[in-house]
């Protein structure tokens, strides 16, 4: 299709669309959306906080701490 056909197609589509949406968003809807966005940001922050050290170790930017090596050695002793 060339650009003239596309322009006619879009123009006819715009003419056939209804002018009024007949929709209503009350203030509760806006606050629910805001609450969802804030909750998602908080969840992302918690996940980053929980896995930040693992992520740094994966990249090789941080070594294992003494606590983690002691914990693994104690776990291996308990299983034997």
Given a cut of 70, is residue 78 above it in pLDDT?
no
CA proximity to 25, closest of 33, 17, 15: 33
Name the band, by pLDDT with cuts 50, 70 and 90, for residue 59.
confident
Mean pLDDT for the chain? 81
Decide which of 43 and 63 is more confident. Answer: 43
Q: Where do the domains of the chain lie? A: 26-80
What CA–CA distance (Å, rounded) separates 62 from 55?
Answer: 9
pTM to 2 decimals?
A: 0.47
What CA–CA distance (Å, rounded) separates 56 from 5?
Answer: 55
Q: How far is CA 50 from CA 37, 40, 42, 45, in A?
A: 20, 15, 12, 9
């Amino acid at each position: 299709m060339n650009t003239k056909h596309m322009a006619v197609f879009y123009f006819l589509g715009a003419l056939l669309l209804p002018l009024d949406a007949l929709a209503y968003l009350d203030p509760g809807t806006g606050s629910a959306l805001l609450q969802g966005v804030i909750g998602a940001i908080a969840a992302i922050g918690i996940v980053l906080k929980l896995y930040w050290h693992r992520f740094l170790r994966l990249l090789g930017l941080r070594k294992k701490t003494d606590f983690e090596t002691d914990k693994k050695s104690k776990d291996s002793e308990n299983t034997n």
